A = this chain, B = another copy of it.
Amino acid sequence: MCDHCGCEQRTKEVEIQKHILSANEELAAKNRAHFREKGLRVLNLISSPGAGKTTLLEATIDALRDEIPLAVIEGDPETERDAARIRAKGVPVVQVTTGGACHLDARMVHRAFHQLEGNSFRLLFIENVGNLLCPAAFDLGEDLRVVMVSVPEGSDKPAKYPAAFLKAQVFLITKTDLLPYFDFDLEEAKRLALALNPNLRIIALSAKTGEGMDEWLALLRDLASS
């Protein structure tokens, strides 16, 4: 065995990773119990940077704000830009700046949730750090995990980045207004995602034109009244 390969190191890393994940599971279960006790319904939005998470939240707030009390936890490696966009909509928001870390974990969400105390809301959106990989491994205590792929990213993404699809309940294909300009095969994206997770609810939408938004909003209304 080549001495560059560091197999012992690798084994150690895997053990440590398991430990981190199992500690996160415990905290996520506590979050989940806490959210239930407070009568909340919580969504965890996972996608690459630029897939349109914040834009979708802005359109969702515009549509639902007078109907369902909402709040948002924003995760980013750096900057308060996304929280500022949500705050401009008049919705309670906490920005978690991870200092470069590649995902939110249950502990960060727990802390952010306490910063929202004093506000009254029914639906809590957690916008994860822009990353289609690492957030998939970290349960935050959410009721609904939503994975998003935008049309410019390409319809092969479910096959190449399967982890996020395996544990999600909803798959949003975003920016469908761009379909005429891209070689994105809607049926391929759906087929690849359903092959990984046959129970996925799939909605193709555009926050810009409003296409598909009715189905997304109906899903949120159902969740809020569940």
Contact = CB atoms under 8 A, between A and B. Distances in A.
Contacts of A134: 102, 131, 133-134
A117 B75 CA distance: 43
Contacts of A48: 48-50, 130, 132, 153
Nearest to A3: B30
A156 B157 CA distance: 23
A13 interface: yes
B161 A78 contact: yes
A114 B2 CA distance: 11
A162 interface: yes
Given A77-B161, A162-B77, A162-B78, A50 B153 contact: yes
A4 B132 contact: no
Contact of A49 (B6, B100, B102, B160): B160
A77 B133 contact: yes
Interface residues of A, number: 46
Contact of A110 (B4, B76, B100, B159): B4
A111 B23 contact: no
Nearest to A177: B181
Contact of A156 (B27, B77, B81, B181): B81
Contacts of A175: 152
Interface string A64-94: 0000000000001111010000000000000
Interface of A: 2, 4-6, 9-10, 13, 16, 20, 23, 27, 30, 48-50, 76-79, 81, 100, 102, 107, 110-111, 114, 129-134, 150, 152-154, 156-157, 159-163, 175, 178, 181
16 contacts: A4-B110, A6-B23, A13-B20, A48-B50, A76-B160, A77-B133, A78-B159, A78-B160, A79-B160, A81-B156, A102-B134, A130-B133, A130-B160, A152-B152, A152-B175, A181-B181
